[in-house]
Amino acid sequence: MTRDARVYVRRRGRLTTGQARALADHADRYRLADPAGCSPPVLLEVGFGMGHALAAFAEAHPGWTCVGIDVYQPGIGSLILQCERAGIGNVQVVEDDVRRVLPTWPDASVRLVAVYFPDPWPKARHHKRRLVQPPFAAEVARVLEPGGRVLLATDWAPYAEWMLEVMDAEPGLVNASGPGAFAKRPSERPVTRFESRGQALGHTVRDLAYTKA
């Protein structure tokens, strides 16, 4: 997968006291050392933001290994803090660019990949920075186990169409709603505060769902 352009902005943000303490005290325990060591079934969430969806899924699915990939330290701190407070013990974190991480993942080892509200990079000159590109779709198809799924969501209509075109074109994936069709919001994706804010502003969220071909 090409790594010529960043697909994210490494926002510094401001750590809250709780997030900073969570990182200092517990980050090592949550850090994923070896993707091959994950006990199945595995959820892989790419760009988990403040971690609300990932923590909710992990709490509801204690038998899963739930791995989040992100570079935003306040978000990582937030996720760890949620896990510590709720006693969630099946979450691990990778702090890195997903394009470096996915090629290290074993074939057919992930049951569910989630990509919720990736940066849309709306300006035309920045479209090359979008995460969802043909090489990414191919890597997702490779790491999915037979019958595995990938769920995506965005509230930026042009990016929704872009993702639909890219993901539909990947031969290793099948659009669960039919070619060219969006999906209903899956039960696995809770409505987060980010989404609620967007809805308040009149944004329409579009979901996509694919299965391993």
User: pLDDT digit of tens for each residue in the chain (213 aa)?
Assistant: 444 455 555 455 688 999 998 898 899 999 999 999 999 999 999 999 999 999 999 999 999 999 999 998 999 999 999 999 999 999 999 999 999 999 999 999 999 999 999 998 788 888 998 999 999 999 999 999 999 999 999 999 999 999 999 999 999 999 999 999 999 999 989 887 778 887 888 889 999 999 999
Alpha-carbon distance 20 to 187, whole Å? 32
Query: Residue 201, Cβ neighbours under 10 Å: how many?
Result: 8
pLDDT at 12: 54
pLDDT value, residue 190: 87
Cα 170 to Cα 104, 137, 142, 212: the distances in Å are 20, 6, 11, 10
The CATH number given to 28-212 is: 3.40.50.150
Distance between first and last Cα of the chain: 21
Domain positions in the chain: 28-212
What's residue 45's pLDDT? 98
Give the residue numbers marked as catalytic.
119
User: Is 119 in a helix, a strand, or coil?
Assistant: coil
Q: What is the pLDDT of residue 25?
A: 87
Beta pairing partners, 149: 112, 211
Calpha distance 164→190 (Å, rounded): 21
Alpha-carbon Rg of the chain, whole angstroms? 16
Specify the pLDDT at position 122: 84
| Residue written as token pair 């980010």 | 194
Q: Determine the residue type at 91.
A: V
Query: Per DSSP, what are the bridge partners of residue 114?
Result: 45, 151
